[in-house]
A and B are shown apart, each in its own frame.
Chain A
Amino acid sequence: MSARELIQQLVNALSLGSIYALLALGLSVVYGVMGMLNFAFGELVTITGYTMYFVSGGNESFLLMALVGIAASTVSSMGMELVAFRPLRRASFLTLLFTSFALAQIIQNLFRQLVSPRPKGVPVPDLFNEAVTIGGIKIGVLPLITAGVGIGSLLLLTLFFRRSSAGLAMRAASQDFVTARLMGIPANRIISLAFAISGLLAGIAGVLWVARLTSVSPAMGFTPLLQAFIASVIGGLGSLTGAVAGGFFLGFLEILLQATLPSGLLPFAQALTLLAIVGVLYVRPQGLLGRRAEAL
């Protein structure tokens, strides 16, 4: 691979990786604070997408569509928590998983019935299809913007976590929820905040996702969900930095496979990615940055 191609693929990897990192972080934030894996997380991306579709009536600016979509996702996430998960706060991991699973089905079917089972196109600016030349290398605009927005969001979020008192409270709560309450950190508010952040991240990732796909469909949330899961588990469930690391790892791995696999094997790229992941977990069951569990 030439240096030129390498740079291009690097941008692609950063672009894909940052989407996965956003998704993984969105999932982990709730897991860290509540100990639950939210199966309906993927539907937040679907909600973002369909909101953008609805808003795109006339010549609406993409930015407006994006902002409304992100807002919808954030509100939906908080709504989910209030309606479906708060009554089940003390339930077992499995019960919460199933409940979120059922909720995901409900949302998916809502879109299937109320809109259409078929994909719907979402207009994206022509700009996204172009390429710029930097230092003599042609790089796609969309990957650049995606990488920029993605990494920028992650940096802003890091700032939030490290500098604000709410962010500090959340970090404390995800490390030791009971002791955080003993320090006076309000349980309900922190959990709501976690879901809000989760929705925000899903929204940003959703916008970037739709920008690539240029269409929305009722089942579109499953792949983002799966990638978020995989990235979180690789990075180490419960670790926020792990989630981000896992997301980039997954993104790089996928681009690597796409770039190096012979064309006959390309359809199996996703399957092979999964195989690689399973391999990693076989050797290191707690993930890259996770802690060792009790010996069995």
Chain B
Amino acid sequence: MTRPFAPGRLRQSVAGWSMLAVPLVLVALLVHGSGRPLAERTLISFFLDAALVVGMQMFIGNSGIISFGHVAFMGVGAYTAALVTIPPDIKVQQLPDVPAWLGDLQLGLIPAVVLGALMAAVIALIVGGALVRMRESAMAMGTLALLVFGYSAFSNWSSLTRGTIGLYGVPNNSTVWVTLVALLATLLLARLYRSSRAGMRLQASREDPVAAAASGVNVRMERLGSWVLSAAVMGAGGALWAQSYLAFGPDAFYFDITFALLAMLVIGGRASVTGAVAGAALITIVTDMLTRVEQGVSLGALSIPAVPGLVRFSIALLIILALVFRPQGLFGRWELDDVLRRVRAGGFRRGAPAPEPAEAPSVASEPTEAPSVAPEVEVAAAAPAPAARVGRNGDGPPVLSAEEVSKSFEGLHALSGVSLGVGRGDVLGLIGPNGSGKTTLLNVLSGIFPPDAGRVRFLGRDIGGSTPHHIARAGIARTFQNIRLFPELTVREHIEVAAIDPGSADVHDVISWLGLEPVLEELGGNLAYGVQRRVEIARAAVRRPSVLLLDEPAAGMNEAESDELLRDILAIRDRLGCSVLVVDHDLRLIMQLCERIHVLNEGRTVAEGEPREVAVDPAVVEAYLGTPRKDASPPTDREGDDAG
């Protein structure tokens, strides 16, 4: 149902790819034409390295998770290719115990590459299932274990790999053109993936997994998908590599190459495909130059002695320097076409260039989810003036409800038997002093914690204990008290990640109501505070949720700003037909905005009703200001015990 690309992104990535492809083709033509075999060897080596680095970039760059083990997949591809391409007579000499069907087999380049990719993908699927369940630091260790595991398997499974001695006799099928085509294909795949909605969802999880889940991203699945895809690329790359280097052993897929490839990625820029290629190019050039110096070279009158190990030192030093001075790498998150567009767009604007939309935004597109209530208010082109609070309670059962919910953290009772209900089209306010349990309740409703006791019902279904992304997909969207934007994604990309249909009219409306058009290409991390808050709200609203949970949307706003916010929230409720639950401390805003208010104190409900009633309820006043000791009412069951 959902399109794989947001409007304009497909064209943008193909265009960007071609900007990288053209110079690469030119270089290949130049070097091939020059007829210098050494240069051609270096070029093939560069193409292979670049393809491998880009393969790693597809996972590491988009997910933000460091993998030390990708080279194991390269090894799988290499050994697979070797086993199916080495001529049978040489094969049987090296591997006398190989099964007959395999011994007689000799395939060509393409089948070998395909098989290499497949084998790697299958293994990646198995291993990945365990890996994505781990915490991030454990995952890094898991990939290290994968590297060692692979090395151990290659070294010990002698009947298939000839152990530490290694295999030889692989036919030289990887010419300059073959490797060029492979690199171009890899680059295209990587660019497409990066700009696809799946790729962006993964990038969102890289930036903030919790906010991503709340925007409907199934973080584990996205990571697994990227892991398998990049492993397949590594497998294909390894197969090609084997058919270029012709002889190898397990040592080729261990630490040295891992370090070299990671160096290229780190120095060039993890988050962009251009960065990966640039890093590969830079390291190749540096290695090439320094290798000659390493062996001793004479510059005119000067004769520089051989300095063994110079290459490795230099690369290690380069990494450290890069990390100190430019931790994001040369290109950071910018692709080549982004950089060029920035320059063209007139100098140094902060922010990313826009994709040129290929089609006009669909005006009368069918909403993918039916609105939960038919809007009764006339639709205006601009944000409507704050409508009189149209009471809609009593319209049937609540859309979202908490029933006797309790939650404790290590002895601290954050919530004790709280019940509340959000009705269709309601705007419900949830208030209470610091520590009263408001945010905990919101977290329980949105699935971040399961309730210890009680139920959470949404549209009649019990959702207590569901994961955040399931709840998000069911139709509950939320914002966060501490603002959890995706710092390295643009505002437009935030919307594309969260929205079910990014091209729809509703999405465009939300963007214009919240005044976000001018900042669509700005990075989340560069926005002013008020704008950040609005982007948070937009990101939730564009999901066209049934219920919108707002956690302190007005924090840090002055009076004018919170008035605007009030109008925006009501517009969203009216036009998108969702119910709203607002937590905030700005009681002026709450009183004006909400039809009903629910007051918590110390984890319990102390009042509920219309704003006017609640404002003068003595229990509420006491909750906020405390009571003077002398006037304290006789101890209720809250007092008198030593509970913390």
Please give the distance in Å from B282's CB to the nearest CB on chain A. 15
**In the bound complex, do residue A233 and residue B138 qualify as a contact, i.e. CB atoms below 8 Å apart?**
yes
**In the bound complex, do residue A277 and residue B262 qualify as a contact, i.e. CB atoms below 8 Å apart?**
no
Please give the distance in Å from B487's CB to the nearest CB on chain A. 12
Please give the distance in Å from A190's CB to the nearest CB on chain B. 22
Q: How far, in angstroms, from A84 to B324 measured CA to CA in the complex?
A: 10
**Interface stretch (choices B10-18, B149-157, B451-459, B536-544):** B149-157
Please give the distance in Å from B62's CB to the nearest CB on chain A. 14
Q: Which of B141, B255, B263 contacts A233 (CB 8 A)?
A: B141
**Interface stretch (choices B129-137, B331-339, B606-614):** B129-137
Interface string of A96-132 (1 = CB under 8 A from B): 0111011101100110110000000000000000000
* Chain A interface size range: 35 or more
Interface centre among B141, B220, B263, B447 (most CB of A within 10 A): B141
**Interface stretch (choices A158-166, A198-206, A278-286):** A278-286
- Evaluate whether A281 and B148 lie within 8 angstroms (CB atoms) in the complex, with A91-B327, A98-B323, A296-B467 already known: no
**In the bound complex, do residue A109 and residue B312 qualify as a contact, i.e. CB atoms below 8 Å apart?**
yes
Please give the distance in Å from B468's CB to the nearest CB on chain A. 7
**In the bound complex, do residue B266 and residue A98 qualify as a contact, i.e. CB atoms below 8 Å apart?**
yes
Q: Is A222 an interface position by the 8 A CB rule?
A: yes
- Evaluate whether A113 and B309 lie within 8 angstroms (CB atoms) in the complex, with A101-B262, A295-B448 already known: yes
Residues of B within 8 A of A2 (CB): none
Interface string of A80-106 (1 = CB under 8 A from B): 000010011001111101110111011
Q: Is B5 an interface position by the 8 A CB rule?
A: no
Q: How far, in angstroms, from A84 to B321 measured CA to CA in the complex?
A: 11
**In the bound complex, do residue B142 and residue A271 qualify as a contact, i.e. CB atoms below 8 Å apart?**
no
Q: How far, in angstroms, from A102 to B315 measured CA to CA in the complex?
A: 8
**In the bound complex, do residue A105 and residue B316 qualify as a contact, i.e. CB atoms below 8 Å apart?**
yes
Q: Which of A112, A233, A270, A274 contacts B309 (CB 8 A)?
A: A112
- Evaluate whether A230 and B152 lie within 8 angstroms (CB atoms) in the complex, with A98-B266, A105-B312, A106-B313 already known: no
Residues of A within 8 A of B327 (CB): 91-92, 95
Q: How far, in angstroms, from A279 to B324 measured CA to CA in the complex?
A: 37
- Evaluate whether A285 and B138 lie within 8 angstroms (CB atoms) in the complex, with A92-B327, A101-B262 already known: yes
Please give the distance in Å from A59's CB to the nearest CB on chain B. 33
Residues of A within 8 A of B447 (CB): 295
- Evaluate whether A94 and B66 lie within 8 angstroms (CB atoms) in the complex, with A109-B316, A237-B138, A278-B130 already known: yes
Q: Which of B130, B220, B313, B320 contacts A99 (CB 8 A)?
A: B320
**In the bound complex, do residue A296 and residue B323 qualify as a contact, i.e. CB atoms below 8 Å apart?**
no
Q: Is B140 an interface position by the 8 A CB rule?
A: yes
Question: What is the predominant secondary structure among interface residues of chain A facing chain B?
Answer: helix
Interface string of A17-59 (1 = CB under 8 A from B): 0000000000000000000010000000000000000000000
Q: Which of A222, A230, A275 contacts B141 (CB 8 A)?
A: A230
**In the bound complex, do residue A103 and residue B144 qualify as a contact, i.e. CB atoms below 8 Å apart?**
no
Residues of B within 8 A of A285 (CB): 133-135, 138
Interface string of B257-269 (1 = CB under 8 A from A): 0010011001000
**In the bound complex, do residue A106 and residue B142 qualify as a contact, i.e. CB atoms below 8 Å apart?**
no
Q: Which of A37, A110, A226, A279 contacts B148 (CB 8 A)?
A: A226
**In the bound complex, do residue A296 and residue B316 qualify as a contact, i.e. CB atoms below 8 Å apart?**
no
Q: Is B343 an interface position by the 8 A CB rule?
A: no
Please give the distance in Å from B106's CB to the nearest CB on chain A. 29
Interface string of B110-147 (1 = CB under 8 A from A): 00000000000000000000100111011011101100
**In the bound complex, do residue B130 and residue A103 qualify as a contact, i.e. CB atoms below 8 Å apart?**
no
Q: How far, in angstroms, from A217 to B58 measured CA to CA in the complex?
A: 35
Residues of B within 8 A of A287 (CB): 138
Please give the distance in Å from A286's CB to the nearest CB on chain B. 7
**In the bound complex, do residue B259 and residue A101 qualify as a contact, i.e. CB atoms below 8 Å apart?**
yes
Excluding A113-B309, A294-B210, A296-B219, 7 further A-B contacts by CB distance (< 8 Å) are A97-B140, A105-B312, A106-B313, A113-B308, A219-B255, A281-B130, A281-B138
Give chain B's interface residues, CB within 8 Å of chain A: 64, 66, 130, 133-135, 137-138, 140-142, 144-145, 148-149, 152-153, 155-156, 209-210, 213, 219-220, 255, 259, 262-263, 266, 308-309, 312-313, 315-317, 319-320, 323-324, 327, 447-449, 467-468
7 contacts between A and B (CB under 8 A): A37-B137, A102-B263, A106-B317, A113-B308, A237-B138, A295-B467, A296-B219
Give chain A's interface residues, CB within 8 Å of chain B: 37, 84, 87-88, 91-95, 97-99, 101-103, 105-106, 109-110, 112-113, 219, 222, 226, 229-230, 233, 237, 267-268, 270-271, 274-275, 277-279, 281-282, 285-287, 293-296
